[in-house]
Amino acid sequence: MGEPLNIGMVGAGKISGAYLDTLERLDTVRLTAVTDLDPHRAKTAAARIPGAEAAGSVEELLLRTDVDAVLNLTVPAVHAPVALAALAAGKHVYGEKPLAVTREEADAILAAAGVGGLRVGCAPDTVLGTGTQTARAAVDDGLIGRPVAATAFMASAGPESWHPDPEFYYRTGGGPLLDMGPYYLSALVQVLGPVVRVTGAASRTRTERETGSGPRAGTRFPVEVDTHVTGVLEHAGGALTTLVMSFDVHAARLPCIEVHGTEGSLSVPDPNGFDGPVELHRAGGEWELLPVAAGYRGAGRGIGLADLADALAADRPHRASAELSRHVLDVMLTLLDAAREGAALEVRSSCVRPDPVRPR
């Protein structure tokens, strides 16, 4: 094994803890620097990893020679500016979802990476775990026949009850679709392939929300995005997915993802996690638990960054790619456009399904 890929982390907010949990146990990547708008948070995060240091600013971090790649954990509105600055500095990038908040920003990121010969990866990497990958293997092996339909549901009352700083979820780049949709759409693309057409509707039930936890509990803030989105997605292979993403549901008993084919049905675990049971119902039979057949075992947030590091060393495509994330972003934005226009719209982008993850 060669030297690990040196990582500089930009943003040490709530999600960074999950990444640090993973980085602590990976030997193909090494955290060397952390920066955050709150210097205390940067120092606290850096202290978790031996050898990591707090950097004073993004600019300072990008000048460091011991940073090969930037882990971009900023809020969605600045995903693109930070990624573009990192690429301009000659660094690879792996970022939280979504890749950007506009198609133009996403295209600029891909163009900059191409010019510099650099890699860009993007969450979610949950789809590289055993849950989605085992489901994909079942579909690829023909266990449900030809896929004809799928459902994907995420219904909650919103993140403000548990997140101490929830405003960004309700600004441009947020909302249930752009926040949670990448998990579900990335899983659907893994299993069923890219999306070619969408139609949908959306609503916004409240103009204000209230922070429910932390030192700012009780603070009210405006809602700038749609908070309930429903749509129908047509995949390139012909399957139709019914999608519901909502921050307006107090309780539900909906399945996360189900895929239905000519010979049976498949229950797919929550794509916001890495594992979970995959169940198959063959025509005329009963539900049965499938054994783990693919995916990174015991994975956590950041496994996509490790996959990128491995891909660099092996000179192969990385799986949690910017091209996949660009397509997912386009599907989401096109769905919102379709909701506003009241029409079915073509999705102009596409992507190649990433290579499956063989059992690890």
User: pLDDT digit string (tens) for 326-338?
Assistant: 999 999 999 999 9
In a domain, 312, yes or no: no
115 and 146 fall within a common domain? no
Residues 79 and 197 in one domain: no
Q: Are residues 233 and 262 in the same domain?
A: yes
What proportion of the chain, given as a percentage, has pLDDT over 70? Answer: 100
Last residue of a domain, one of 69, 99, 122: 122
The alpha carbon dihedral of 204, 205, 208, 212 has a sign of negative
Burial class of 133 by CB neighbour count within 10 A (0 to 12, 13 to 18, 19+): buried
Give me the CATH number covering residue 221.
Answer: 3.30.360.10
Task: Say yes or no: 139 and 256 in one domain.
Answer: yes
**Residues 97 and 140 placed together within one structural domain of the fold:** no
Task: Measure the CA–CA gap between 100 and 83, rounded to whole angstroms.
Answer: 9
pLDDT at 18 over 90: yes
pTM above 0.85, yes or no: yes
Strand partners, 129: 296
In this prediction, residues 15-29 reach a mean pLDDT of 95
Q: Assess if residue 107 is contained within a domain.
A: yes
Binning pLDDT at 50, 70 and 90, where does residue 172 land? confident
The CATH number of the domain holding residue 96 is 3.40.50.720
Residue 44 located in a structural domain: yes
Q: What is the 3 state secondary structure string of 169-216?
A: HHCCCCHHHHHHHHHHHHHHHHHHCCEEEEEEEEECCCCEEECCCCCC
The secondary element (H helix, E strand) that includes residue 310 is helix 303-314
| Chain segment 188-204, per-residue pLDDT in tens | 999 999 999 999 999 99
Alpha carbon distance 304, 132 (integer Å) = 14
Residue 116's alpha-carbon distances to 86, 113, 158, 339, in angstroms, are 11, 5, 39, 37
Identify whether 360 is part of a domain. no
Q: Is the pLDDT of residue 304 over 90?
A: yes
3-class DSSP state of 111: helix
Range of the domain at 175: 126-295+326-346
Helix (H) or strand (E) holding 93: strand 92-95
Q: Which amino acid is at 194?
A: P
Note whether 74 and 152 are same-domain residues.
Answer: no
Asked whether residue 356 is assigned to any structural domain, the reply reads no
Mean per-residue pLDDT for 141-166?
96
First to last CA, the chain: 17
pLDDT above 60 (res 23)? yes
Shared domain for 190 and 164, answered yes or no, is yes
Q: Is 310 exposed, middle or buried (0-12, 13-18, 19+ CB in 10 A)?
A: middle
237 φ/ψ angles, rounded to the nearest 5 degrees: -80, -5
Q: Report yes or no on 235 lying in a domain.
A: yes
Report pLDDT for 1.
55
pLDDT at 160 over 70: yes
Clarify whether residues 183 and 102 are in a common domain: no
**What pLDDT is stored for residue 359 in this prediction?**
81
3-state secondary structure of 168: helix
**pLDDT tens-digit map of 271-287:** 999 999 999 999 999 99
The pLDDT-based confidence of 238 (bands split at 50, 70, 90) is very high
Please report whether residue 186 resides in a domain. Answer: yes
Q: Identify the pLDDT of residue 360.
A: 72
196 and 335, same domain (yes or no): yes
Report yes or no on 314 lying in a domain: no
The reply to whether 64 and 99 lie within a common domain is: yes
Q: Which residue has the tokens 């995060």?
A: 45
- The per-residue pLDDT for 133 is 98
Mean pLDDT of 93-122: 97
Kindly state the tokens that stand for 262: 């000519």
If asked whether residues 149 and 276 sit together in one domain, one would say yes
- How large is the average pLDDT for residues 249-278? 97
Token pair recorded at residue 187:
């899983």
Chain segment 61-94, per-residue pLDDT in tens: 999 999 999 999 999 999 999 999 999 999 999 9
Q: What is the mean pLDDT of the chain?
A: 96
| Contact by Cβ (8 Å): 171, 178 | no
* pLDDT classification of 173: cutoffs 50, 70, 90: confident
272 and 166 inside one domain = yes
Instruction: Select from 88, 122, 156 the last residue of a domain.
Output: 122
Whether residue 209 contacts residue 174, with contact meaning beta carbons closer than 8 Å, is answered with: no
Domain count across the chain: 2
Q: Which of 102, 122, 142 is the last residue of a domain?
A: 122
pLDDT for position 339: 97
